[in-house]
Amino acid sequence: MADFPLISPMGERAILIDFGQDYSPEKLRELLFYKKLLEKELLKETVEVINTYNSLLIIYVFTIEDIYSEVSKLKGLFKNANIPKKINSQIFYLPVCYDEDFGPDLKLISEEKNIGIDEIIRLHTTPLYQIYFIGFLPGFLYLGGLDERLHISRKKTPRKSVEKGSVGIGEKQTGIYPKSSPGGWQILGRCPVDLFDKNMDPPTRFSAGDKIRFYSVSKDEFFKIKEEVENGNYELKSETYESGN
Amino acid sequence: MKAEIEVLQPGLFSSIQDLGRFGYQKYGVPQSGVMDRYAMRVCNLILGNPQDASVLEITFQGPQMKFNAATAISISGGDLSPILNDSPVSLNEIIPIHRGDVLKFGTRKSGFRSYIGILGGFQTGELMGSKSWYESLTDDFRLRKGMKLLFFSKDMEERKTHSHLKTDLNYIGSTEIETYPGPEFGELSAQQRQKLFSVSFKTGKNSNRMAVQLEEDFENELEPIITGPVVPGTVQLTPSGRLIVLMKDCQTTGGYPRILQLSEKAQQVLAQKMPGEKITFKKVEY
């Protein structure tokens, strides 16, 4: 078995650091610790470090001159690191309207899983979802922690357009469409809060390591929040918490 | 008066690009930027521009544009037969522009993408540190008829330029794609690896700035991976056995095995291939 993390070049402008197949919130903490360390040790202006479930990728603005010495420098960094047990992160509370007008697949999920719609809502709003990373589309959050009872396969034929803010389930994952786009997830509701605003810096409030909890709102509340979001006076509920062993 | 270019005809697909966005991939924002960095570099060197000055990337069928003020431009990359006021103009040379001049393009002679540089770069909007257009992010993502592109009107003589730059444009006609092994290369069978580097592949019709799909079926037994990072030049193998080469506008993460990783130069070569052209992969080591 290979020794993890595995550090190897991915083309002339990126180095991939692979932490093995499994993933968990604990492993994410380790990844994010190394990510911070890399950002500190490597010149911030010339690289960007991104993480996924089980890997880090260092992207260089310019081609790497000497890949061998860069890789061995990184190996040294990883050898000497002390991973802290606890880190601070944020919990965000996101409103979702689980009305059938916004959740066209609620009935289908209910029938296929033999769970009442109220129970679907309860199961979906109970977990503290872990944000593993943002990818796929600008502002799309990869969330972990969906209740097994809600795991459901994607649509055989994806919809041509899924409305912005739609909350859906695809296999073991749940997530929110940050903009209208084609998509194959089963849609159970809609969130009135913008996940990505290109004119903000940073363009999203959320980062890898943060957590999210959904709460159910009525249609009236949905439109009220939507209006506040559009007028720029909506305040997203959040709190800081310490995670760790 | 504002110095601007009026787009009379948009051509097939043209967009303003520079070296792309950095620091925003953690938010899911693609890198974008020119598909052919060498051609952009040549354009800017000829004009004495900073190397990151934005250029107009045009595809297969060029636009028709009118300049309302004096400047200088340069054109490099594929040869799409540029014509200034009804006279052909050369690639890789400085082209003085006078007020009222009209630039258009004729038939394609080589390559697939051509680049237009302008003194000081295009003065179009910047978002997240880059002028590169990208569909789901910037207000504009392709040239439209009637659109106005701003530039600084400058007297050419003020600038030190490299009008006799030596260029090597052999890559445009090359069909050899240099590639490193990708993260999941090791999971391919010996036969698959042998096949990858011995047969030729045809670039598919639905190829664009996000990806070039290859038409041939490639036997695949690899399972999808846990969604992981991808970058321009990553070659994915889909469950149905298709090879997809990711290009500059690609997503930041993907769930298909990443079997190859193109060299920077190979990405330039591929950017200049017409749909339906044949390519071969050549393995290179780090």
Report d(CA B203, CA A46) in Å as an integer.
Answer: 33
Closest B-chain CA to A133: B26
Judge whether A1 lies within some domain: no
Q: Indicate yes or no: CB of B29 within 8 angstroms of CB of A12.
A: no
User: Average pLDDT in the B239-246 region?
Assistant: 93
> Which residue, of B170, B188, B215, is where some domain finishes?
B170
Q: Which of A11, A54, A136 sits opposite B226 (nearest CB)?
A: A54
* DSSP H or E segment with residue A94: strand A86-96
Structure tokens at B197: 């580097």
Question: For chain B, what is the mean pLDDT?
Answer: 94
Q: Indicate yes or no: CB of B28 within 8 angstroms of CB of A135.
A: yes
- Sequential DSSP letters for B223-244: PPPS-EE--TTEEEE-TTS-EE
Residues B122 and B243 in one domain: no
User: Average pLDDT in the B67-87 region?
Assistant: 97
Please report, as a single letter, which amino acid is at residue A134.
I
Can you give the pLDDT of all 245 residues of chain A as single tens digits?
457 799 999 999 999 999 998 899 999 999 999 999 999 888 766 889 999 999 999 999 889 989 999 999 898 888 877 777 777 889 999 999 999 999 999 999 999 999 999 999 999 999 999 999 999 889 999 999 999 999 999 888 889 999 999 999 998 999 999 999 888 899 999 999 999 999 998 999 999 999 999 999 999 999 999 999 999 999 999 999 887 64
Per-residue pLDDT for B158 more than 60? Answer: no
Quote the pLDDT of residue A182.
86
Give just the sign of the alpha carbon dihedral B241, B25, B58, A182: positive
Quote the pLDDT of residue A245.
47
Q: Indicate yes or no: CB of A134 within 8 angstroms of CB of B233.
A: no
* Per-residue pLDDT tens digits for B36-55: 999 999 999 999 999 999 99
Q: Measured between CA atoms, how close is B263 to chain A, in angstroms?
A: 6
> Which residue, of B170, B187, B215, is where some domain finishes?
B170
Please report which residue ranges of chain B form alpha helices under DSSP H: 37-47, 190-196, 264-271
Q: What percent of chain B has pLDDT over 90?
A: 87
Q: Indicate yes or no: CB of A203 within 8 angstroms of CB of B226.
A: no
Q: Closest by alpha carbon to B286, among B178, B177, B184, B171?
A: B178
Residues B13 and B144 in one domain: yes
Report d(CA A234, CA A232) in Å as an integer.
Answer: 6
If DSSP codes are grouped into helix, strand and coil, which group holds residue B74? strand
> Which residue, of A84, A102, A128, is where some domain finishes?
A84
Residues B105 and B202 in one domain: no
Per-residue pLDDT for B165 more than 70? Answer: yes
* DSSP H or E segment with residue A117: helix A117-125
pLDDT confidence tier of residue B134, bands split at 50, 70 and 90: very high
More confidently predicted of B259 and B223 = B259
Judge whether A122 lies within some domain: yes
Q: Which residues contact A213 (CB under 8 A, 6 or more apart)?
A: A91, A92, A93, A94, A125, A127, A128, A129
User: Average pLDDT in the B127-153 region?
Assistant: 95
Q: With beta carbons less than 8 A apart as the criterion, state whether A162 and A183 touch.
A: yes
* Per-residue pLDDT tens digits for B266-286: 999 999 999 999 999 999 998
Number of domains in chain B: 2
> Which residue, of A84, A108, A124, is where some domain finishes?
A84
Judge whether A179 lies within some domain: yes
Mutate to test the interface with B, among A1, A6, A16 (most CBs of B within 10 A): A16
Q: Indicate yes or no: CB of B27 within 8 angstroms of CB of A57.
A: no
Interface predicted TM-score of the whole assembly (ipTM), two decimals: 0.92
Q: Which residues pair with B181 in a beta bridge?
A: B260
- Sequential DSSP letters for A25-86: HHHHHHHHHHHHHHHHHS-TTTEEEEE-SSEEEEEESS--S-HHHHHHHHHHHHHT----SE
Residues A226 and A108 in one domain: yes
**Residue pairs between chains A and B whose CB atoms are closer than 8 Å:** 110
Host domain of residue B40: 4-170
> Cα dist. A63→A184, B134, B263, B264 in Å?
37, 23, 10, 8
User: Average pLDDT in the B165-174 region?
Assistant: 91
Host domain of residue A233: 88-244
Q: Indicate yes or no: CB of A12 within 8 angstroms of CB of B263.
A: yes
